[in-house]
Every structure is written in C-alpha cells, then in structure tokens.
Structure 1
C-alpha cells in the first residue's frame, strides 16, 4: 500500500513510517516544511490548519492515511482537518489516546464510556467523526521507548531534583497503562490490513504500572544519588507543568489492550516501561509533550 503519514517527523509518526517501510509499504510523508524536514522520498506539504492542503496531498495513488500528528489544541482546526481527510474517501487511522477515558479502576475496554480530561476534552468528538466516517481510531497508553516521551520527562525531573518524583493528587499512587513506541507502530499496519471500518483499538502493552515504580526507575536512569521516588503534589506540579498536564500525569488508569491482540494478532514484545527506563533516558523530554508523545 501507499500510505500517507501525517506527522512523519514526530515521535510516533516516525516510528510508524519506519514500520510501514519495513513491511514493504510505500510511505508518503506529510509535513509542514518538506525542505526543512530532513526526509527523503515522497515528502509532501500539508498543514492541519489548512484543510485544503490535506485534501490536495491525498492524491489518487494514496491508498490510506495515518494521522499521527499532535493535535493543535484548537477544536475547530482539528475537527476540520479530520473532516477533510474523511472526505477524501481513503481509509483513515487517527491517533487518539487513553486520557479520553478519564480515571479507570478495572482495565477499561474499548466499550468503556469516555470521561476526558480537560487537556483532551474535545478529542472524543474527533474520534466520533473518524469512526462514523468509516475510519479507525488507535488510543495509545503512555508511550515510551528510545529515551523519549513522558518517561523521559520523569528522568529529567529526577536529574534536576536528585530523586524521582511523580505527580500525585492524594490517595494511592496512580497507575499508568503503557506501550513501547515500536509496539505501537506495529499496530498501524495491522489495523489497515485486518480491521473493519469504524473499529477502535487500545494500544496498551501493560495495563497499569505504578507510577511510583516508574519514577524510581527514572531516578536510577538519571543516575541520581537516591534512587527513590516521592509524591509531587499536583498543585506544585501545576506551577511547573500547567494545571491540565499536571492533572493528566496524576490520573490513575488501567486500560486493556486485549482486543487488538485478539482480533488483529498484535503481539507487543518490547521491554516494559520500567525495563526500558533502566536502559537509560534522555533529558530532551519537554519537547515531546504535545508532540505526539502523550495520550
């Protein structure tokens, strides 16, 4: 297949493009600045804020579209973008995230009701447009791998403060559903090849990992003198990270990824988040926030 990947230079999008190419698919990269992207091959210009540029990029030779770009934060813009992509008639895979579910106790399946955090408040509406238009939605958990994503932010925080910290809103420490970025990338071609129009899948390898354990692993990865983790009150974290993102990091979720395994044969096999952090993390984390590395 010839697949247009929106956000092909981002954390998730780059991994997806690499996986597609490895499977023998022809990748078309859609970026805002082709000349400055550093990419080779078929690279086209497009901007989520310009729906006509998206439609123009989906030429007749394109078989499917994967939207792995970061949301703009503007509901009007993001809704117009997915409507434009649906209008092309090509299969569309949209990357959402598990934060649309809100707090969960038992592992949430794809049938669970949504209760989105303010940070992703309008994302369920975008999902619905995609699904009603015959597209597909993937909801990744907390994405990790290759020293990037939110876990790298924890490592950067640990390096700065000398010990691990995790955002805490009271009660038991939260747990996070997680997925390695390479395992996540494996799911996209499976969706294109095997899923039915209107299907929704959770991309979750580990249903719920204690964030305190993740923060301890981040402290060890950062080489701190004290490889332990302490709660970071959400009010204090909000002063540094902003309230919406701090609330998201304090969210406790257990999410099931069983459907993708059962129906598509998805088999996540990369290291879990704690093992991954043990291999080391970078401090270049803040640039990932909102750049395709969050759910």
Structure 2
C-alpha cells in the first residue's frame, strides 16, 4: 500500500488489517531508517518519484492501493502508475471529486477538472485501461484532520468563520468521513470490478456557510459570525489553484457505488463532527 502513513492511507491500512488483510506498506526510504507502520505486516521502501524503486516494492502482492499525496506532475504520476501495474496486481487509485469540476455529477459523468487536478484525467485513463479501479473521495474529514482542519485554523486566526467564495457564491462540498472512506476501500479491494469508478461521498453537497460556522465553534470562537473570503484574496494566502478548488460548488452522487458495493456511510456528517467531534 502506497501512502500507508498518510491521513487517508493510515486509516485504510488500519481497516484492511482489521478485516484480515495482510498489509504491505510502501514508504519512502530514509538513510539509516527502519520503522514499523501501524496496521502493516511488512514495510517496503520505494519512492513514487523513482519508478525503478517500485518494481520490487510492489512485487508479490494481490492488490496495490495507491493513496499517496499527488505530485501534480502528470509524467511523474503516469510513470509511477506504470511501475505499480507492472507486477500484475489489481491497482486501486485514489483520485478525487475536484476532477469533476463544478455542478452536479455522478460516477458516469465526464471529467471537467479544475487546473489543480487536470493531470488526473490521464492518470485515471491509464489506470482504468489497465483494469484498475478508481476511487474519488469527497472532501475527507474526521480524526481532526483533512482540509476542514484548515477552516478551524483560519477561524482561530481571524476570530470568525471563513470560507473561500468565488463571485459571491457560497460553495458546497461533497464530503466523506475518513472512517467511512476506509470501509469503502475494503469493499473495493474485495469486490471492486476491474475498470470501475467509485465515488466516496457520504454527503453530496454541504453548504460552506454552515461548515465555517461549525469550524469557528471548534476553534472556540464565539460571536464573530461567518464571512466569505473572496477567492482572489484567499489566493494570496493559499495559492490560486487551491483557493479555486475550495470555492467550488459541487453536488456529487455516490448512488451507484453504494448499490454495487453495499457501502453505507454511518459516521457523523462534517458539520456535526466539527461542532462536537474530533476537531
């Protein structure tokens, strides 16, 4: 499993191990370092930026779960995918809902990516063409991490809830709790059909005003209200591409995923988790 020490990957590795799967963690090599990874039966070393290092690391496994942070470089990503596919294992690739762009989408919708994730169109095509599986998580939250933690930090910094807004429009985020996401990966590893796309979305469209208000509550900020943060201003702090992503208004369905895999998200929603949960 690539990314077994990350926010998403660690939850997935833990759940796979709990369900009786033997997890082999792929981690970046560091001089003179050996380490254990929670949930992993074995640790192997390789770097997705060095495809030659992946051949041995991905050998003799039945499924490769790719859950690392993306480099954003299409050539690097494709080379890594080709190396991970070379051993013949089923590949489960972690993409994301930003590839779908603004508006309403489901698993059959054509990609309409924002610039930040445009590289993923070619990567998904390569994975699916080789019989791999694509998982597109919504905005991941829970366990005090993910992008919502940024909203908590910004609320604490500015004394009020804040959300990035383009043209005065309130964004909406498709979301998924990290533990529900981990459950889905187990189902995909065990039953996901080759060439399939699955959406990991628990709530289809959560208004960001409510999320920002809950983030302020999590930060211990009271009485400050909620304000829209213009995307141009946010770009100076967060970078233009990331600010654009945060300002998206999306509604994303996972109806087919739920039906085909019997996946039923059950954890608290994003607003509830911010207001009284892990943050």
TM-score (norm 2): 0.95
Tell me which of 116, 119, 122 is aligned to 2:119.
122
* Corresponding position of 1:200: 197
Q: CA deviation at 1:151?
A: 0.5
Deviations, residues 97-146 of structure 1 (Å, cap 9, x unaligned)? 00000001x3x111111111111011111001000000000000000001
Whole-angstrom distance in 2 between the partners of 1:219 and 1:225? 7
Tell me which of 213, 221, 225 is aligned to 1:224.
221
* Corresponding position of 2:46: 46
- Taking a change above 3 Å as real, the CA distance of residues 255 and 37 of structure 1, as seen in their structure-2 partners, is farther
> Aligned residue pairs: how many?
275
Tell me which of 208, 212, 215 is aligned to 1:215.
212
Conservation of the 8 A alpha-carbon contact between 1:177 and 1:209: yes
Deviations, residues 23-60 of structure 1 (Å, cap 9, x unaligned)? 01001100003736552641000100111211111222
* Corresponding position of 1:247: 244
Q: Secondary structure at the match of 1:254?
A: strand
* Corresponding position of 1:152: 149
Conservation of the 8 A alpha-carbon contact between 2:136 and 2:199: yes
Conservation of the 8 A alpha-carbon contact between 2:215 and 2:275: yes
Moved more, 223-232 or 243-252: 223-232
Q: CA deviation at 1:196?
A: 1.2
Q: CA deviation at 1:278?
A: 1.3
* Corresponding position of 1:289: none
Unaligned runs of 5+ in 2: none
Alignment of 1:33 onto 2:29: yes
Q: Secondary structure at the match of 2:186?
A: helix
TM-score (norm 1): 0.90
1:63-78 → structure 2 map (5 Å cutoff): 63-78=62-77
Conservation of the 8 A alpha-carbon contact between 2:163 and 2:209: yes
Conservation of the 8 A alpha-carbon contact between 1:9 and 1:37: no
Bigger relative contact order, structure 1 or 2 (CA pairs below 8 A, ≥6 apart): 1
Alignment of 1:187 onto 2:157: no
Q: Secondary structure at the match of 1:127?
A: helix
Tell me which of 11, 18, 43 is aligned to 2:14.
18
- Taking a change above 3 Å as real, the CA distance of residues 206 and 83 of structure 1, as seen in their structure-2 partners, is same
1:81-96 → structure 2 map (5 Å cutoff): 81-96=80-95
Q: CA deviation at 1:226?
A: 2.1
Whole-angstrom distance in 2 between the partners of 1:33 and 1:225? 45
Alignment of 1:132 onto 2:126: no
Q: CA deviation at 1:171?
A: 3.9
* Corresponding position of 1:266: 263
